[in-house]
Amino acid sequence: MTTTPTEGGCFCGALRYRLTAPPVGSMVCHCATCRRLFAAPVVAWLSVASGGFAFTRGTPATFSTSAPVTRWFCPACGTHVAYVHAGEPGCVEVATCSLDEPSAFPPTHHSWLSHDLPWVRFGDGLPTFGGSRHGASD
Ligand SMILES: [Zn+2]
Ligand SMILES: [Zn+2]
């Protein structure tokens, strides 16, 4: 399988997607929802215009962590690759590390430090925000 920085998918490959527009945001989320859903200390996200994201293989299963949020994950291996928020219909949030080359999209800030675990330390010097940088839900 050839990889490009703008393609990604789930762990098993049943679900693949392509970005056709450059992300408009890139951040690391420290919120409790991301932590529990991914069972990981933090989760990195890209914001992409809706028209710039398309699944190219497979059909995602969906799960809602809260009423306005629809999360897309692989029904075979369980990887969560993206979500949409009804309050921000123009945007798809893509899990940065589901991309083939997540190194191509470094984060610009950290959000939801108010939920952070006390032992998470980055030291990358990036700006941090107690909630969402934009004031909307992450
Ligand atoms: Zn999969
Ligand atoms: Zn989060």
- CATH pick for 7-28+44-102 out of 3.40.640.10, 3.40.50.150, 2.170.150.70, 2.60.200.20: 2.170.150.70
Ligand nearest to the CA of 12: 1
pLDDT at 138 over 80: no
Mean pLDDT, range 52-80, rounded to an integer = 97
- Provide the pLDDT confidence category of residue 95 given band limits of 50, 70 and 90: very high
Percentage of the chain exceeding pLDDT 90:
91
Distance 96 CA to ligand 1 centre (A): 16
Ligand nearest to the CA of 42: 2
Contact 35, 112 (CB under 8 A): no
Predicted pLDDT of residue 2: 56
Q: What is the pLDDT of residue 136?
A: 46
Of 134 and 114, the structure prediction assigns the larger pLDDT to 114
List pLDDT tens digits, range 17-29: 999 999 999 999 9
**What is the mean pLDDT of the segment spanning 78-101?**
96
Ligand in closest contact with the CA of 95: 2
Q: How far is the CA of 32 from the centre of ligand 2 (A)?
A: 7
Residue 14's pLDDT is 98
Q: Three-class SS string for the chain?
A: CCCCCCEEECCCCCCEEEECCCCCEEEEECCHHHHHHHCCCCEEEEEEEHHHEEEEECCCEEECCCCCEEEEECCCCCCEEEEEECCCCCEEEEEHHHECCHHHCCCCEEECHHHCCCCCCCCCCCCECCCCCCCCCC
Q: Residue ranges of the domains in the chain?
A: 7-28+44-102
Q: Global pTM?
A: 0.92
Mean pLDDT of 97-123: 96
